[in-house]
Structure 1
Amino acid sequence: MNAIDPDLVAGYLVRTRWFAGKGRPFAVRNTQEVGALSGGAAGPVVTVYVVDLDYRDDEGGTERYQVPLSAYDGFEERIAHAYIGPIEEDGRTRHLFDAVHDRDAMTLWLEALVAAEASGEAVVGGLRFHRVPGSEPLDPALRASAMTGEQSNSSVRFDDTAIMKIFRKLSAGTNPDIEIHDVLTRAGSTSIAPLAGWVDADLDGETVQLAMVQKFLHTATDGFELALASVRTLLADPEHRADESGGDFAGEAARLGEALAEVHALLRESFAAERRGTAEAAALAGEMTARLDAAVRVVPELEPHAPRLRAVFARVAELDGLDVQRVHGDLHLGQTLRTSHGWRIVDFEGEPGRPFDERSLPDSPWRDVAGMLRSFDYAPGVIEMSMTGEHADDGERLRSERAREWSERARRHFVEAYRAAVQGDAPLSAEQRTLLDAYVADKAVYEAVYEKRNRPAWIHIPLGALTAIAAGTSAAG
């Protein structure tokens, strides 16, 4: 396919959910073809482009995105919603579509994955398709359909058998999502969706990973949606306490804590884990304090809590060290699925804004625990907002009390189940409590900045948590 007009690509990027630069001035600097698949005379030509762009605001910076495109001689009405525009090629007009939304295009990727089953790898059209040994065979007749709802990547489902995540924002090197899923799949983890394969290519002398394929969990429910439904059930009849209601989430939270403990244990066995000393503890405290100082400039409402939060972070600097290992790095209820066979933890990609080498650095497992605790605070907060004004003041007061009960029970049962799975009857140590409180506070500070900039009506959720932490309430509930 000929080179694409940069303005055509830029115009499409700003219409997508996954482009992180919406609202910022940018220019497409370069488009490179890394591979192409052909469906023959009757099918599409699918070209995988990597797009480099530069931001033109004071913040500046560059980003790289994957844009697979289907080209047809005629306009395909069935995928009109994914239309990018026309190009002139060899004296004729070709129509371009986002290939992720094109069933025929994704079938070409599926066929290449099937071709890789015999030897574990197949090179098709310049793309390398890898299969994990022992993964279930894929039927080339499976029907592809793009999934909705994702914001940073795109996913394609192959009936009820497999799901392929196509990474939109790219970095050179090994994607942590593939790396960790590969290790946990080979270790036999029951708390993930097993990895079936991945796709990569060469770009500028380096390997760039483009997609990963996992087993589709057809009985799965999004963890945050399940939590919201639980809170909604509880608050619909607030006369009953959380532990008396069908809306109690404590049991699910405990099982999720056990699943996280299993994943952490396998990660400790599979990657380097170490005990770091006082200098590293002090550096962590400094990073948390610096983030707080920066956040106060954006969220003035943090100022009354800042002295006590700094004291929480200062206690980290007093530790004689901390244990670090590979972790999830961006864990919350939205990164979990509840299946008929238990909880599954997904999306080990880490924080999307950081390069791969930083996301792969060892960290404290209490960061993951803290992320989940904050999620248990958000679920009742979101439901409460949706119900505000539906009842008299007494009803709202009782609902708020029940919402606090829901969150406290979920947090407490999650931490207790995680602790018991990790260390048996031994209680949380002073060091562990210090780290957990600090990581929860650090996460809530981040949330306050995010909500101030994006959802001001939600800012009371992290501010409420920071008020409790500043007052000395345990993060675990």
Structure 2
Amino acid sequence: MSEAVTRSVPTSNPGLLASLDPLLREWLPRQRWFAGKGRPVTGFSLVSATELLPPPRQDGTPAGRLGLYHLIVVAHQQPAGPAPVTVTITGTGTPPGGDCYQLLIGAREALPPRLAPALIGHVQEGPLAGHTVYEALYDARSAEVIMEALRTRARIGALRFDRRDEIRPDLVPRLMTAEQSNSSVVYGDTFILKVLRRVVPGTNPDLELPLALAREGCPRVPAPTAWMTAETSGEPYVLGVLQPFLQGASDGWELSLRELAKGEDFAAEARALGRATAEVHTALARALPTVTLGHSQMQALVDGMTERLAAAAQAVPALRPHVPGLHSAFEALADLAAEGATWTAQRIHGDLHLGQCLRSASGRWSLIDFEGEPAKTLAERRMPQPVVRDVAGMLRSFDYAAHSADGPPAPDWATACRAAFCTGYADAGGRDPRTDPVLLRAFETDKAVYEVLYEARHRPDWLPVPMSAVRRLAAPDPS
């Protein structure tokens, strides 16, 4: 480990965060991974701050060209109501009332042109006064520091770096620019580091489940090579996971759109993806406990679906005429449970869709990104669920692809893919999801209702996609 990576800034000293506060209030809401869009940031609370590289000196004898800081901060925001919130900066653990973010901040006396897209701003006061600060993951030197810490199992302030396998040095890093809710750095086409942006204390399934699957020898999920965490006053925060990079692999969403645009059949790929999904579910059931859901558990599940439907209908008027038909899907499931039917629940992916799947150059499918739905609490994401929930998510994804490619919607293409996926699932899992139509309809209905609310709030032009599913699922014969 480089001797420069030695010092940590104690969380009891808020001077660093105070100096960055006005810059972060402007910069953070513009990031793709910022969850609280539409509401002003009113302040920050410091969970931890670690100095990975000291900043350049301003006395003519620079200590180095780059300063590097790792921060975990809670961003407080003005609520939806009219009353503003006044928040002071503290350093006493994880305060309530805001989302928690991981930040990697670089500091230079002057920012080179290649780092212009990473600019956060110019610090006016505090320990970094006179420096320019920026998103450090754009800088190869910063990414090298993180990799070296993983490679050497470093302990730096609150940060802990661990690994399962050896990592050779001198892998050239590059930031992936097609970011979603996190950030990714590829090292020499050998590894990919997923840097979690919105973090919570506790056991994160994005590390927990791939580790469990690796112990089971499941080849469908890249096994974690290394990971980084932070130890604070409470439970550890999972901050990043390093996994093998599947060079030449195709994202399932982009691949399906390309094939659809060319008029190519995708059923064979959908069937193979169904087999891969079933293999992952089978391995998870071996690795982690399963539970049986009886009447009371299923009634609680149905109650949650019903509440989500009512809330969505209140927010989206177009949904209201279909509420009785949609509600019948949930009632049918409750009736089955009341008659004594039971279902098995286990750990699942939790947010499965085509974008969470990769097909290698050899044609083999893998599942990635086990973080679960970011809007749900960590406890909810780690709860055992019927595997049909993952199946329903994938079926809805085929429907989205059929409406997203260039040209008119292709419902027959989606129908063929949906059927092929279920057939492939049965091939490997021993049970066809379509043999439990009441459960499948309920979960697919719940997913479509979620999509209606999401699209109405964030992408109104996409609202017709889930509404087409709503009309089908609300019909007396949803098949």
Tell me if structure 1 keeps the 8 A contact 2:39–2:80.
no
- Which of 309, 330, 335 is matched with 2:356 structurally? 335
Cα displacement (A) at 1:142: 1.0
Partner of 1:434: 438
Structure 1 residue 63 corresponds to structure 2 residue 88: no
Tell me if structure 2 keeps the 8 A contact 1:177–1:348.
yes
Distance 1:356 1:205 in 2: 15
Tell me if structure 1 keeps the 8 A contact 2:53–2:66.
yes
Cα displacement (A) at 1:334: 0.9
Distance 2:315 2:388 in 1: 26
Q: Indicate the percent of aligned positions where both proteins have the same amino acid.
A: 38
SS of the residue corresponding to residue 171 of structure 2 reads coil
- Which of 11, 16, 22 is matched with 1:3 structurally? 16
Partner of 1:391: none
- Which of 242, 246, 249 is matched with 1:213 structurally? 242
Tell me if structure 2 keeps the 8 A contact 1:3–1:31.
no
Tell me if structure 1 keeps the 8 A contact 2:388–2:433.
no
Cα displacement (A) at 1:225: 0.5
Distance 2:178 2:22 in 1: 26
Partner of 1:130: 162
Partner of 1:394: none
- Which of 449, 454, 457 is matched with 2:458 structurally? 454
Structure 1 residue 114 corresponds to structure 2 residue 151: yes
Tell me if structure 2 keeps the 8 A contact 1:283–1:317.
no
Summarize the alignment of residues 345-424 of structure 1 with structure 2, pairs less than 5 Å apart. 345-383=367-405, 386-387=406-407, 400=409, 403-423=410-430
SS of the residue corresponding to residue 347 of structure 1 reads coil
Distance 2:302 2:471 in 1: 20
Structure 1 residue 101 corresponds to structure 2 residue 122: no
Amino acid at match of 1:182: L
Q: Report the TM-score when normalising by structure 2.
A: 0.87
Distance 1:84 1:230 in 2: 40
Partner of 2:42: 27
Partner of 2:91: none
Tell me if structure 2 keeps the 8 A contact 1:276–1:323.
yes
Unaligned runs of 5+ in 1: 117-121, 235-246, 388-398
Amino acid at match of 1:335: Q
Tell me if structure 1 keeps the 8 A contact 2:248–2:360.
yes
Tell me if structure 2 keeps the 8 A contact 1:39–1:105.
no
Tell me if structure 2 keeps the 8 A contact 1:37–1:45.
yes
SS of the residue corresponding to residue 14 of structure 1 reads helix
Partner of 2:272: 255
Cα displacement (A) at 1:206: 3.0
Tell me if structure 1 keeps the 8 A contact 2:422–2:433.
no
Partner of 1:173: 202
Partner of 2:118: 82
Summarize the alignment of residues 234-253 of structure 1 with structure 2, pairs less than 5 Å apart. 234=263, 247-253=264-270
Q: What whole-Å deviation, never above 9, does each CA across 1:149-193 have from its counterpart, x for those lacking one?
A: 222111111120101111110100111101111111222212112
Distance 2:307 2:160 in 1: 43
Amino acid at match of 1:187: E
Tell me if structure 1 keeps the 8 A contact 2:350–2:373.
yes
SS of the residue corresponding to residue 225 of structure 2 reads strand
Q: Report the TM-score when normalising by structure 1.
A: 0.87
Cα displacement (A) at 1:43: 4.6
Q: What whole-Å deviation, never above 9, does each CA across 1:11-68 have from its counterpart, x for those lacking one?
A: 1102211111121122123234432322794352321111112221237941111111
Partner of 1:392: none
Amino acid at match of 1:250: A
Amino acid at match of 2:296: A
Distance 1:163 1:89 in 2: 35
Amino acid at match of 2:41: F
Distance 1:230 1:427, change over 3 A: closer
SS of the residue corresponding to residue 218 of structure 1 reads coil
Distance 2:156 2:216 in 1: 29
Tell me if structure 2 keeps the 8 A contact 1:26–1:55.
yes
Q: What whole-Å deviation, never above 9, does each CA across 1:99-137 have from its counterpart, x for those lacking one?
A: 111110110111111213xxxxx31354211102xx3x3
Distance 1:86 1:409, change over 3 A: same
Q: What is the root-mean-square deviation of aligned Cα atoms in Å?
A: 2.0
Distance 2:462 2:276 in 1: 29
Structure 1 residue 297 corresponds to structure 2 residue 314: yes
Cα displacement (A) at 1:321: 2.3
Distance 1:86 1:427, change over 3 A: closer
Distance 2:128 2:290 in 1: 59
SS of the residue corresponding to residue 289 of structure 2 reads coil
Q: What whole-Å deviation, never above 9, does each CA across 1:208-242 have from its counterpart, x for those lacking one?
A: 111111100112111001111111111xxxxxxxx
- Which of 291, 298, 305 is matched with 1:288 structurally? 305
Unaligned runs of 5+ in 2: 1-8, 10-14, 56-62, 86-96
Amino acid at match of 2:312: A
Tell me if structure 2 keeps the 8 A contact 1:175–1:356.
yes
Structure 1 residue 145 corresponds to structure 2 residue 166: no
Instruction: State which drifts further: 363-372 or 454-463.
Output: 454-463
Instruction: State which drifts further: 81-90 or 453-462.
Output: 81-90
Cα displacement (A) at 1:275: 1.0
Amino acid at match of 1:73: E
Amino acid at match of 2:185: V
Amino acid at match of 1:381: H
SS of the residue corresponding to residue 283 of structure 2 reads helix
Distance 2:433 2:172 in 1: 51
